[in-house]
Structure 1
């Protein structure tokens, strides 16, 4: 077994809010989805563009801090929002839109999809979509399942609802939710940066987050290296949507 096979063996993803355990499919299924363009984890681009993504918000403290930093460095991001939080903090959602960021669907209650029926999965997505639409007047087209868990039922349901499923570049999981230390988050993101990467952060973490402080280092450093921070849609539109198949 080579190292690439090891990287795609099933693994467990532990989420800090719902304490869920989810298993990712093996390499063959992942390759099938990426080859079809059903799952996007990285985009092939000639531009030095990177997409920052933030899951689980909005949060009245963390999201505001992150938005302030993004504004300072004129960086755009994609926020995968949870419908329950959208309902609680509509003004933050409006600010995200007004400042040029992209909203994406991360379900209504961030429940474990592993044992849900097709109708339950559909309800989670649609209910979140309705909350976003009612506040912004805009429909979302991007979806990220909780914990990054996916299977045929989830993929089929998302496709039928008109969504592109977005995960993240495997080496660009900041693991900020585990609070590994600002230095570790910074090192992981900067040392692995490549054009077309999709970076996973969170803007709602139980307890004091290290994400905002890490961004204060990451953004100026990568800008010095010539990187521009764009939304997922902007990244996908670059170079006529030439998807990176596999994880090179």
Structure 2
């Protein structure tokens, strides 16, 4: 069994914009069930298979992403990286490394704005399109998934994503590690291991201001979940295990 080690907790502010805790509906948005039953937003996947999806937001970063890639390779884990376009432009070599290692790349906007009720449809589309063009230019592959910064969702956001044929993906509500806050390695590890279940989508970040606690947390999380029999798959692979039919309207 993995020994959980406590670490000092630090306060931190994202270099770009701090993420709020948990996915949030923008003003006027419908309840989660509405979008989930229509297959318009995925939070997690109901399955009897022992599979789980690790996701990393806001990268790539020069420091943390390569370390994460090494750990994932060690545990034969595939993950989904939700890429910020401006960071991809800065580190195209790391983006290509992610693809070469068999991971999935997804769209997380170009500059990480929060899409609240004041955001225009055109502004959303521009952010999505810029990142799509950047990732496609670097890798030759068009992403299939989109995650809005901060998890803000609305009908307008869904319309913007549909314009580019994206599936909107958030994360399991019990698996927001809040690692961007640097709450302490123990808290990150505890959040994941206490709540892990089949079909979870776990939220991490591979870009964190200051000294990231994500990498040391993963060193405890990955071997423990593997010992429990979990297999680490990309989000697109996980969606393929969905056992609940949706009504698309």
**Superposition TM-score, scaled by structure 2 size:** 0.88
- CA displacement, residues 6-30 of structure 1 (integer Å, 9 cap, x when unaligned): xxxxxxxx97331466953599521
**Corresponding position: 1:24 with 2:25:** yes
From 169, 180, 185, the counterpart of 2:183: 180
The aligned counterpart of 2:205 is 202
What is the alpha-carbon distance in structure 1 between the residues aligned to residue 19 and residue 162 of structure 2? 24
Deviation (angstroms), 1:244: 8.9
Q: Deviations over 1:143-195 (max 9, x none)?
A: 00010001111111111210000000000001101111111100110110001
Does the 8 A contact of 2:30 with 2:154 survive in 1?
no
CA contact (8 A) 2:46 2:243 kept: yes
Partner of residue 111, structure 2: 109
2:223 to 217, 220, 223: 220
- Taking only aligned residues, the RMSD between alpha carbons, in angstroms, comes to 2.0
Q: Partner of 2:55: helix, strand, or coil?
A: strand
Q: Which residue of 1 aligns with 2:87?
A: 85
Q: Distance in 1 between matches of 2:90 and 2:68?
A: 18
Distance (whole Å) between structure 2 residues aligned to residue 160 and residue 102 of structure 1: 21
After superposition, the Cα gap between the structure-2 partners of 1:223 and 1:27, relative to the gap in structure 1 and judged at 3 Å, is farther
Q: Which residue matches 1:6? A: none
The reply to whether residue 192 of structure 1 matches residue 190 of structure 2 is no
Which 5+ residue runs of structure 2 have no aligned equivalent? 1-11
Is the partner of 2:183 in helix, strand or coil? coil
Distance in 1 of aligned mates of 2:129 and 2:83: 13
Task: Please name the residue that 2:4 is paired with.
Answer: none
Q: Which runs of 4+ in 1 moved over 3 A?
A: 19-23, 25-28
Pair 20,187 (structure 1): closer, same or farther in 2 beyond 3 Å: closer
Which residues in structure 2 correspond to 1:57-72 (within 5 Å)?
57-72=59-74
Q: CA deviation at 1:46?
A: 2.1
Counterpart of 1:35 (choices 32, 37, 41) is 37
Question: 1:139 matched to which residue of 2?
Answer: 142
The one of the two structures with greater contact order (alpha-carbon pairs below 8 A, sep at least 6) is: 2
Relative to structure 1, the CA distance from residue 228 to residue 15 in structure 2 (aligned partners, 3 Å threshold; closer, same or farther) is farther
1:127 to 124, 130, 142: 130
Shift of 1:242: 2.4
TM-score (norm 1): 0.88
Deviations 1:92-123 (A, max 9, x none): 00000000000000001101222221111101
Instruction: State the alpha-carbon separation in 2 of the partners of residues 27 and 127 from structure 1.
Output: 25
For residues 173 and 245 of structure 2, the distance between their equivalents in structure 1, rounded to whole angstroms, comes to 13
Give the deviation of 1:66 after TM superposition.
0.6
